Chains A and B, each alone.
Chain A
Amino acid sequence: MTILGLQGVRGGVGTTSLTAALGWALQQLGETVLVVDASRDNLLRHFFNVDFSHEQGWARAMLEKGSWRACAWRYTHDLDLLPFGQLTQAQLQRWPETEHSLIEFAAALQMLKASGRYRWILLDLPAEHTLLTRSLISVTDNVLSIATPDANCHIRLHQQALPEGADVLVNGRALNSQLQDDIYQLWLQTQRNLLPIVIHRDEAVAEALAIKQPPGEYRADALASEEIITLANWCILHYGEEALHEGR
């Protein structure tokens, strides 16, 4: 039972796509998975064919004193989804107050973990370090900090704190980019917590959202889908329950 947070070093590095894709890949490998949207953007659900007009989710349910459990969806036998929920303008405008009401969700995640119902809970975390993000990160077992090897992320890795123990995963690596090649080679040599796996930029991932499916379901043969299967295997080996017992 592992709670794995995925958080972009900044917005736009493909964290939500990666969460959807990794959830799919893990269940392909026989794992039970719950993917949880922890972002106000409420976008993760669209990879799992939830209607745009369906506004329910755990955050909205908690704010309206409803049952967050009733907001989950079963996508496959081994893959469930918990959307964030579409907040109203009023709820968003009162964000500090709203956020305060949501931090108890961290406890709910711990409870879910203790139930042993899922081998994996994947959290799609927003890039900003709000109180809510920090409280959810505090109950994770591992965090993947997602970075694209571009100038923007390169600067951020020199000035921006990451969760303790976070591993850095390269996503969206472009082919035929001198700058990305240079930055990636530099990271290989200088970043101590870089994962030995790279996910390349792939049109199939962009198309998956438009098709409303996880990337690996939409195009299992795409380069990024194959790389994400490798990532899922790596996660099982290094973050999975057995890895914890062996002290990896």
Chain B
Amino acid sequence: MDYEGNFINLRRPLGLIVLSIAITLATASSSSEAAGTASNGPGNVNILAASNVSSANLSQTQRSPLCSTSVGSANDGPEAINELAGMVATLFWNNEDLLKRSVDDWNTPTCVFEDGRPKMSVFQDGLNYAFKNQSDWSKSKARLEYLKNKFPNEAFVALAESRYWCQYAWNARGSGFASSVTPEGWKLFRERLERAEATLINTKTYSSQIPDWYVEMIIVQSALDRPEEERDKTFIEGTQKFKTFYPIYFTMLNYLSPKWGGSWETVDNLVTWTVEHTQTIEGNSMYARLYWAASGGLPQGDQLFKNTRAKWKLMKKGFEDLMRRHPKSNWNLNNFAKFACQAGDKSTFLSLRKQIGANVINAAWSGDTTLDLCEAKYGFEQ
């Protein structure tokens, strides 16, 4: 459904064009735990609904992005992320004061969705949409200049500027493998990432008060091939300062994976370190969250329990901790069941499937592990 001004336009496809199949299959799906966090290239969160929201009036009169007021809004899984990201995009273009208030409001570890993910993690997704839906990059740049004048030395503006340069860099590079990138694409990619890096460095004193600074910096340092020690320092500093801001871990994991020249052994070390680092707050749930994130970035055809070092026994324990902490989250529950199916744990799958009942979240079951397949495989019948 589209909003154009205040009108719903029936001319646009409702996600039913064949192209959308290709997009869904070619990119990491939104079922990823990390969807939208390491969103500097392929694997961005699929925000079909949110991308279409362009009316500030609608979102402001019907819903509030603030943490304490989520009446009438989705508060779990991709629906919640998409809705809030759409609002960020809208506010970026139409209501910078409310955007500033929202970002300030989200900047606390207790401001989370039902599934436990920090609402602040949506800020980056929302900015991606704000820029992506505007094909004329100069308009985005002009908007940023306006914001910089209006709010000098404001963290959310600096991070928006850095996101702009990152998005613009990936626009030149393209989302394919390195072999598909043109020489001009590489040149522009580097130049623009350097602009993002300079923005982050020059504004660090105030912009690193928002955890997204560390996410952005890890992305930029990785993509620019900065020395690993520098990136590690960023990661350690970020996770000390914002212990439960998951996107910092997800982003680091992404760049340690084989896709970016790393290895599953290094990823496993990161997971072990993180579980220990967050144990007092998160129990073992970070094991589940991190390998869940890793599964979203696997090459097509690879399987989590076959191609990585993930262990179902530990993952299950992690999910049990996750469900204890966030018992109302259907999103977490659906994904728990999906991984049980992938791991071949029939009894856990069937028990979780029973718990899910009619609360199936389709987005959790995309890719090669469809609910259709799991039910056929384990003989589940309603």
A and B found bound together: no
B residues contacting A by CB (< 8 A) are none
